[in-house]
């Protein structure tokens, strides 16, 4: 049919030809056929459904008629599909229906509203990344000895045995309630756990004395991020009342867009709940958030939340924090370019997150194995 179309469709002339059929006796006889062409699209032929009937006493090959009906159905189906696709696009442009959901989810960093030059400049700048800071050890200097002393004092008041050093390292970064009920196993009663957690916090604040000092380079780095309008969140396992009072003391209460305190989460590090909730408050996806911490528990929690992590080596050695994406001794060593490179989303992070196993192919040695020479003299 396509070979006929190249010669007959140009002038819209009807298709005609001869086919060989067999009658009842089995003899082949040529029969002429004629097909009226009504329309053609590209290389597809549309024929009239009415074909000349053959005589009933002849067994005719119906391949031409079947092909014509099939081509007609294909053309109608193509037209319906094209019409429906065009209507769907018109409805999307008119705002009647929404586009299908795609990954990543929409947020203010992914909105394609770039017609305004100011919005374009903001997106091409730093408005598409967010920073999540830990309070102690990153923004202000912490004293681990005071934390240990507070736990030992509480154990003495409660009539408990002194807490071993390895257990004190294990509860580092956890909420007080979580450490008391799950690690120390002092009580399962919610009222008793809450009472002991509040008492431990009172002991720590009395030992600390309400004196707060910035870590080296932290104040300058926060000022740089504010200059570039990068949203920031602060997370801590301290009570909100204590945290807000400390922020007012050092004058950074206006720097952070979101604050996550002990009352906002159920579990502390290494659980990623604090960081995920901070990203939710900032309205950013996790892949565009950078966590700043100073311990391996923070690195573990950030990676569990699919965030990048910058470790500040002010309590640990640099090689002890090599699991982090970037390790610095002080925050002002970082630049905005470093943050953009960290927040640059790679394609595997939008997939399942699991590495694709690759099958190892063993190289076959085409050379025959070397024969081992045996000295026949040893058998004689």
Report pLDDT digits (tens) over 105-118. Answer: 444 445 555 555 56
| pLDDT > 60? residue 379 | no
Q: What is the pLDDT of residues 99-155, one digit of tens each?
A: 444 444 444 445 555 555 565 555 556 767 899 999 999 999 988 889 999 999 999
C-alpha dist (Å) from residue 244 to 192, 259, 280: 26, 9, 20
C-alpha dist (Å) from residue 60 to 33, 36, 287, 368: 11, 19, 68, 66
Model-wide pTM > 0.85: no
The DSSP secondary structure of 142-186, one letter per residue, reads --HHHHHHHHHHHHHHTTPPPPPHHHHHHTTTS-HHHIIIIIS--
Residue 253: per-residue pLDDT:
86
The DSSP secondary structure of 173-184, one letter per residue, reads TS-HHHIIIIIS
272 near 248, Cβ under 8 Å?
no
Q: What is the pLDDT of residues 64-90, one digit of tens each?
A: 666 667 767 776 676 666 666 555 555
Burial group, residue 197, by CB count within 10 angstroms (0-12, 13-18, 19+): buried
CA angle 102, 106, 107 (to 5 degrees): 160
% of the chain at pLDDT higher than 70: 58
User: Which residues have a Cβ under 8 Å from the Cβ of 37 and sit 6 or more positions away?
Assistant: 8, 9, 12, 13, 14, 15, 45, 46, 47, 48
Mean pLDDT score, 145-172: 91
Residue 5: per-residue pLDDT:
45
Residue 278: per-residue pLDDT:
95
In this structure, of 203-212, 233-242, 355-364, the range with the lowest mean pLDDT score is 355-364
The DSSP secondary structure of 270-282, one letter per residue, reads TSTHHHHHHHHHH
**Which one-letter DSSP state was computed for residue 59?**
B
- Phi/psi at 246 (5° precision): -70, -35
Give the Cα separation of 200 and 175 in Å (integer).
11
Question: Would you place residue 343 in the very low, low, confident or very high pLDDT band (cuts 50, 70, 90)?
Answer: confident
Could you tell me the domains of the chain?
Answer: 130-139+212-343 (3.40.50.1000), 144-208 (1.10.150)
């Amino acid at each position: 049919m396509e070979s006929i179309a190249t010669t007959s469709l140009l002038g819209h002339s009807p298709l005609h030809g001869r086919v060989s059929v067999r009658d009842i006796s089995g003899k082949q006889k040529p029969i002429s056929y004629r097909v009226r062409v009504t329309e053609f699209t590209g290389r597809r032929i549309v024929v009239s459904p009415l074909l000349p009937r053959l005589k009933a006493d002849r067994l005719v090959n119906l391949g031409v008629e079947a092909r014509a009906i099939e081509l007609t159905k294909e053309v109608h189906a193509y037209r319906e599909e094209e019409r429906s696709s065009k209507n769907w696009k018109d409805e999307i442009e008119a705002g009647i229906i929404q586009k299908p959901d795609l990954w990543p989810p929409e947020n203010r960093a992914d909105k394609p509203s770039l017609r305004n030059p100011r919005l374009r400049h903001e997106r091409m700048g730093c408005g598409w990344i967010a920073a999540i800071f830990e309070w102690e050890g990153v923004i202000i200097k912490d004293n681990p000895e005071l934390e240990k002393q507070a736990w030992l004092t509480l154990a003495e008041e409660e009539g408990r045995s002194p807490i071993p050093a390895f257990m004190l390292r294990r509860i580092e970064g956890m909420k007080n309630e979580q450490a008391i009920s799950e690690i120390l196993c002092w009580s399962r009663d919610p009222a008793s756990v809450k009472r002991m957690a509040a008492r431990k916090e009172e002991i720590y604040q009395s030992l600390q004395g309400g004196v707060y000092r910035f870590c080296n380079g932290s104040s300058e780095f926060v000022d740089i991020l504010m200059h570039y309008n990068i949203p920031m969140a602060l997370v801590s396992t301290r009570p909100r009342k204590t945290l807000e009072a400390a922020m007012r003391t050092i004058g950074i209460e206006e720097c952070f867009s979101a604050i996550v305190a002990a009352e906002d989460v159920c579990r502390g590090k290494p659980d990623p709940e604090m960081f995920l909730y901070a990203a939710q408050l900032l309205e950013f996806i996790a892949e565009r958030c950078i966590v700043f911490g100073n311990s391996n528990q923070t690195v573990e929690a950030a990676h569990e939340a699919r965030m990048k992590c910058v470790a500040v080596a002010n309590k640990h050695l640099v090689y002890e924090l090599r699991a982090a994406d970037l390790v610095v001794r002080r925050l002002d060593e970082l630049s905005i370019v470093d943050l953009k490179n960290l927040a640059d989303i790679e394609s595997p992070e939008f997939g399942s997150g699991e590495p694709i196993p690759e099958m190892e192919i063993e190289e076959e040695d085409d050379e025959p194995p070397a024969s081992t020479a045996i000295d026949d003299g040893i058998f004689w």
